Amino acid sequence: MEPGNPLLDDYALSLCRRKKPRVCFLPSASGDADHYVVRFYRHFSSDACEPSHVSLFRRDRGPGRVREHLLKQDLIYVGGGSILSLLGVWRAHGIDEDLRAAWRAGVILVGVSAGSLCWFAAGLTAYHHDARPYRGLGLLPHSNAVHYEEEPQRRPAYHAALLSGALPGGYAACDGAALHFVGTELERVVLSRPDARAYRVDAAGGAVVERPLEATYLGERPQIALAAA
């Protein structure tokens, strides 16, 4: 849902088998922010898919039979926000179990920022000066870091947590880079911005090893015009 850049959204939709996939947005990490829900419907229009969303905080749109609804989807898209709040609210409503069931049933699970972190075993909260490890849903047995080069405190905090053993090795992604897993294995890395990067990051022998991952830019490379001066 990057402004003016549908590449990652289109990529996620292309993974669905149905021509008009059912796509459900979970904006829980933002407190079900209205503007975020509006943005989802703008990016996932009913021309391309059957969009819906589940709000856990809005009582006029109670979740009803959430599990049933989630299991019917082709794609579940989790929005960004607070990872600790997201996990807390999901666990309180039993959504964590619903999502595990959806994953086992083959529903494609997608998300940005906190909506990416949640699928992994562990990660670090983004509180300034107070990055703490938390336990995610653990569908993917790795750690995850996001906004890796955009927010300067993320990389040193992630490295320190890997070195201390607080986090298992994992994957770090910059804005515009998407890690695509099939099962628990990384299938490929795709980019909506040509110079976005992703890394496999591990602690080995008292040092952090950061390996850049091969990635595919999803857009057209700009034609380079040769201008004769």
Partner 1 sequence: MGGGGFTMEPDNPALDDFILTLAEARVPRICLLPTASGDGEAQIRQFHATFGARACEPRHISLFRLGSRPVPLRETLLAQDAIYVGGGSMLGLLAVWRALGLDAILRECWQAGVVLAGLSAGAMCWFEWGLTSSLGAPAPAPGLGFLPGSLSVHMDGEPARLPVYRAAVASGALPDGYAADDGVALLFRGTALQEVVTSRPGRRALRVAAGGERALTPRPLARPDRAGPPPEIAEYRRVRALRDR
Catalytic residues: 113, 147
* For helices 95-104 and 83-93, angle between their N-to-C axes, nearest 10 degrees: 90
* Distance, C-alpha 89 to centroid of its chain: 17
Which residue in this structure is represented by tokens 């940005």? 112
Q: Which of 10, 43, 7, 11 is nearest to 25 (CA)?
A: 43
Closer Cβ to partner 1, 70 or 203, answer by number: 70
Residue 56 as a binder of partner 1 (CB under 8 A): the answer is: yes
Contact 125, 84 (CB under 8 A): yes
From the CB of 130, what's the least distance to partner 1, in Å?
9
Phi, psi (deg, nearest 5) at residue 158: -65, -45
> Which region, judged by CB under 8 A, interacts with partner 1, from 58-66, 116-124, 191-199, 221-229?
58-66
Closer of 84 and 213 to partner 1 (Cβ): 84
- Of 43, 54, 55, 161, the one binding partner 1 by CB under 8 A: 55
Size of the site for partner 1 (CB under 8 A): 27
Residue 112 or residue 215: which is nearer to partner 1 going by CB? 112
Residues 133, 150: Cα–Cα separation, whole Å: 20
Min dist CB 46 to partner 1, Å, is 25
Least Å distance between CB 31 and partner 1? Answer: 3
Of residues 63-82, those binding partner 1 (CB under 8 A): 63-64, 81-82
Q: How far apart are CA 121 and CA 54, in angstroms?
A: 24
Q: Which is nearer to partner 1, 74 or 96 (CB)?
A: 96
- Span between the terminal Cα atoms of the chain, in Å: 40
Show the binding pattern over residues 127-166: x = contacts partner 1 (CB under 8 A), - = does not.
Answer: xx--------------------------------------
Answer for the pair 210, 204: CB distance below 8 angstroms, yes or no.
no
| Position among 16, 84, 121, 166 found at the interface with partner 1 (CB under 8 A) | 84
Encoded tokens for 159: 């490295």
Contacts to partner 1 from residues 89-108, by CB under 8 A = 89, 91-93
Angle among Cα 213, 220, 79 to the nearest 5 degrees reads 60
Other CB atoms within 10 Å distance of the CB of residue 58? 15
31 scored as a contact of partner 1 (CB under 8 A) = yes
Residues that bind partner 1 (CB under 8 A): 29-34, 55-59, 62-64, 81-82, 84-85, 87-89, 91-93, 126-128
